[in-house]
Chains A and B, each alone.
Chain A
């Protein structure tokens, strides 16, 4: 039985947490974890660390990590029409933004990202082919002019997608306070990496494990693993497991081109062999594969050599054995993502199986 409720995952997904503005996410995680952990600590960068003591005799220390921030827009200029010009914080595909609803600033002011309607595009040959760039987009918060907009919004404030968490393809409503369903497709924003945060929380909120469990919820991953870099020097654990919501591009592509999706929805958690910024130690990967096989947990390999995670930041100072496990999420870094709960729960199941076997962990990290 998962300790996570639908309401908690909804709040995680809907919380506003652009890079450098993770306060709301941090508060939510800290409050949810408080009854379940032995210590909570926030460093000067804003990284949140939770520690849950093990019930075992050993002194093995394992850390889980997930990043709290999500890609966001931030306000760069308020023009004379009261429209807000924006830049991106983290990697955003501008083509996915036009016409979407956003929430601006700490007061969550509703706004919409404007784009000319099709009527006008037909009158202008070039317009129909124009691909929006971030600097072409504006947020309309309903202000009549610059003065009215400036009274409500400040330059530098973040704008995040106004996407509500929900279920796809489900006939009956899901009880908010009941345990998260085991299967089914969910949609929402910020699955990269609130699903990682939620997976770490599931372990901390569950029964005690043999080893001491640290969970580091980092800031500013999307703008260059900056929170992880700050936390890395103090990190002294035997094993680090990075939990991510990762790219899933298992959609139809150009007809004549072979398709090699990064991951596929529903094929289980994605294990990283190596990505663009980190090589997972062979012994760690083999341990994850053996554990998955022993417990009949499905998994898939993430397409090698692409992307990067906090593993590179945490790997900057100490040579800590590190694994990377992800829940595949379609359409990440856009207004709405889709994930399969079966993949998410299987990832948690694999983590729990790995952490439950202290003797095998001690052998893995050379502490037996």
Chain B
């Protein structure tokens, strides 16, 4: 599982440019799925049919990750950019970004290192730039509209790891489920979505097009177990997957939440209730599709979400697979 996470978490996939991630995941799921399809927006679907007695369940993880887009090119070759997904400006100085063609640059701003470090000033977006190390715009390997991701190598810390896990960890869990799941009564639609970070855009069309009865997003959730957080959250790293109760965009359906909790209790799998006061997941879009879909989310607790070093615990990841296996192999009794 660690190898799969290492592989998927380092593939290039900013919002709207998830092709390489989709290719890797398609490679993994094709041998195990009854049908693999891709829609016009780029969402990838792997269908695993049940025995006909169950429900039509959409499991969603998003392929895209936070990134940046080049908005302008200066004559001296510096690239002006803006963020894709929610980014804190304070984390940007000195970060490396990598474009789809492999080109790498470093981020700085008009104020320079002194403004940031000595005077503690973080300028507005238009003042930031990417330095590609070229002399003049003519030598640039990239241009306006090109997108890049932050350099976020996978680093194992033993049971825990650092890297870019939002939401390749969800993608890995879905792949692992498809590979290991015993017979299920349900038609399972493993859905790998695009453009979640810019407003759950892929999941909207996925849920509309596929019309599931039940929707479950598998994503990360910010852990609250670091010193003195501004927004208290009870979720802790290593205490089991989080079963979503509510976030800023949705209230998980109580039936689904109860069924997930019952499955965890039945199998003795640790879990934590999740109440998130900001952010959301693909489940919010799935829930609101058509006349409504019974939806919820299973989340992997994650520290430092949307930075270059997201931290997860593999115990939580393995328990998330076990929890979803327990839920998906049982009958849904409503």
Q: A315-B201, A317-B205, A317-B208 are in contact. Are A304 and B16 (CB under 8 A)?
A: no
Contact B145 A316, beta carbon cutoff 8 Å: no
Residue of A278, A304, A319 with highest tally of chain B CB at under 10 A: A319
Q: A304-B145, A315-B201, A319-B43 are in contact. Are A260 and B71 (CB under 8 A)?
A: yes
Residue of B nearest to A233 (CB): B208
Q: Which B residues are CB-close (under 8 A) to A301?
A: 144-145
Instruction: Check B70 for interface membership: any CB of A closer than 8 A.
Output: yes
Contact A258 B74, beta carbon cutoff 8 Å: yes
Interface code B67-87, partner A: CB below 8 Å = 1, 0 otherwise?
001111010000010101000
| Alpha-carbon distance A234/B155, docked complex (angstroms) | 48
Q: Which B residues are CB-close (under 8 A) to A317?
A: 204-205, 208
A319 contacts which of B69, B80, B205 (Cβ < 8 Å)? Answer: B205
Q: Which A residues are CB-close (under 8 A) to B72?
A: 258, 260, 303
Q: Which B residues are CB-close (under 8 A) to A306?
A: 71
Contact A319 B145, beta carbon cutoff 8 Å: no
Instruction: Check A318 for interface membership: any CB of B closer than 8 A.
Output: yes
Q: Which A residues are CB-close (under 8 A) to B80?
A: 258, 260
Q: Which B residues are CB-close (under 8 A) to A278?
A: 201
Interface code A142-181, partner B: CB below 8 Å = 1, 0 otherwise?
0000000000000000000000000000000000000000
Interface code B34-73, partner A: CB below 8 Å = 1, 0 otherwise?
0000011111000000000000000000000000011110
| Alpha-carbon distance A303/B80, docked complex (angstroms) | 11
Q: Which A residues are CB-close (under 8 A) to B195?
A: 279
Contact B15 A318, beta carbon cutoff 8 Å: no
Contact A315 B71, beta carbon cutoff 8 Å: no
Residue of A nearest to B288 (CB): A316
Contact B69 A304, beta carbon cutoff 8 Å: yes
B145 contacts which of A260, A274, A277, A312 (Cβ < 8 Å)? Answer: A274
| Alpha-carbon distance A142/B213, docked complex (angstroms) | 61
Contact A321 B40, beta carbon cutoff 8 Å: yes
Q: Output the least CB separation between B81 and chain A (Å).
A: 9
Q: Output the least CB separation between A365 and chain B (Å).
A: 8
Residue of B nearest to A283 (CB): B40
Instruction: Check A273 for interface membership: any CB of B closer than 8 A.
Output: yes
Residue of A nearest to B72 (CB): A260
Instruction: Check B199 for interface membership: any CB of A closer than 8 A.
Output: yes
Q: Which B residues are CB-close (under 8 A) to A281?
A: 40-42
| Alpha-carbon distance A316/B195, docked complex (angstroms) | 12
Q: Which A residues are CB-close (under 8 A) to B39?
A: 319
Q: Output the least CB separation between A39 and chain B (Å).
A: 25
Instruction: Check B182 for interface membership: any CB of A closer than 8 A.
Output: no
Interface code A258-274, partner B: CB below 8 Å = 1, 0 otherwise?
10100000000000011
Beta-carbon contacts under 8 Å, B113-127 to A: none
Residue of A nearest to B206 (CB): A319
| Alpha-carbon distance A319/B202, docked complex (angstroms) | 8
Contact B71 A303, beta carbon cutoff 8 Å: yes
Contact B208 A273, beta carbon cutoff 8 Å: no
Q: Output the least CB separation between A270 and chain B (Å).
A: 12
Contact B205 A273, beta carbon cutoff 8 Å: no
| Alpha-carbon distance A150/B108, docked complex (angstroms) | 58
Contact B82 A305, beta carbon cutoff 8 Å: yes
| Alpha-carbon distance A321/B39, docked complex (angstroms) | 10
Q: Which A residues are CB-close (under 8 A) to B16?
A: 274, 279
Residue of B nearest to A303 (CB): B71
Q: Which B residues are CB-close (under 8 A) to A318?
A: 205, 208-209
| Alpha-carbon distance A105/B60, docked complex (angstroms) | 49
A320 contacts which of B40, B74, B145, B198 (Cβ < 8 Å)? Answer: B40
Contact B70 A304, beta carbon cutoff 8 Å: yes
Residue of A nearest to B198 (CB): A279
Q: Which A residues are CB-close (under 8 A) to B74?
A: 258
Contact B40 A319, beta carbon cutoff 8 Å: yes
Beta-carbon contacts under 8 Å, B286-320 to A: none
Residue of A nearest to B43 (CB): A319
| Alpha-carbon distance A76/B41, docked complex (angstroms) | 42
Q: Output the least CB separation between A220 and chain B (Å).
A: 20
Residue of A nearest to B145 (CB): A273
Q: Which A residues are CB-close (under 8 A) to B84?
A: 305
Interface code B205-245, partner A: CB below 8 Å = 1, 0 otherwise?
11011000000000000000000000000000000000000
Q: Which B residues are CB-close (under 8 A) to A260?
A: 71-72, 80
Q: Which A residues are CB-close (under 8 A) to B15?
A: 279
Residue of B nearest to A280 (CB): B16
| Alpha-carbon distance A281/B15, docked complex (angstroms) | 12
Q: A301-B144, A304-B69 are in contact. Are A316 and B204 (CB under 8 A)?
A: yes
| Alpha-carbon distance A277/B199, docked complex (angstroms) | 8
Contact B205 A274, beta carbon cutoff 8 Å: no
Q: Output the least CB separation between A315 and chain B (Å).
A: 7
**Which 4 pairs show the lowest CB-CB distances between chains A and B?**
A279-B16, A273-B145, A319-B41, A319-B40
- Spell out A's residues near B (CB within 8 Å): 233, 258, 260, 273-274, 277-279, 281-282, 301, 303-306, 312, 315-321, 365
Of the A-B pairs whose beta carbons lie under 8 Å apart in the complex, a sample of 17, sorted by A's number, is A260-B71, A260-B72, A273-B145, A274-B69, A281-B42, A282-B17, A301-B145, A304-B144, A304-B145, A305-B82, A306-B71, A315-B204, A317-B208, A318-B205, A318-B209, A319-B209, A365-B40
Additional A-B contacts beyond A303-B144, A304-B145, A315-B205 (6; CB < 8 A):
A274-B69, A303-B71, A316-B205, A317-B208, A319-B41, A319-B205
